[in-house]
Chains A and B, each alone.
Chain A
Amino acid sequence: MIITATPATDGPDAFLLSGRFDAHQAERFRTAVDPSLDVDQPHIDVDLSDVEFIDSTALAEIVRVMKRCREREGDLRLLAPSDPVRVILELTRLDAAFTIV
């Protein structure tokens, strides 16, 4: 999986993910994203438009980040999930938990 990070100048920190987001990639995602949580009201965008598959470990990881954001009155948004990712979010009923744009 390729992670392209765009630190915020005026808006959420953005992370563009590309490829397969699975348990092998969860640690890399955590390393890339966690520094963005160390602020008041963290706002993070995760672009999933180019993710071909997401497994349960990866889902758990983005749930963790979302919770951390909301604990600090921020939020995590999922941008344009690809077809399989959107369906997986629906089947796991996580689509209702996230802000999906």
Chain B
Amino acid sequence: MPDIDLFNFFRWVLGFIVTVYASIITIQSAYTWYVWLAGSEKYISVLRQYVIVQGLKLRFRAFWGDVLVCILLSFTFCLMWRAQYLLDRTHEMLHGS
């Protein structure tokens, strides 16, 4: 009978499902936008230029607070990942694999 840690099992399954779901949704959306904007029709070409103009008009300063928070959270997440890795290593050393 394998010794399965239920919390770890939940963690990995949740992480796997959420990552796959988010990747599929993101790739699907990006591909749909790409196909639509890559059209050769006259008006699509105008729209493409308009989207570029809108992108250029975007001001980073309006969102810089939220973006900074996101960067800090990502950094924190990476640190916690590293801490988790070190704890796993410690667990292996202390109690064997």
Q: Do A and B bind each other?
A: no
Instruction: Mark A residues whose CB is within 8 Å of B.
Output: none
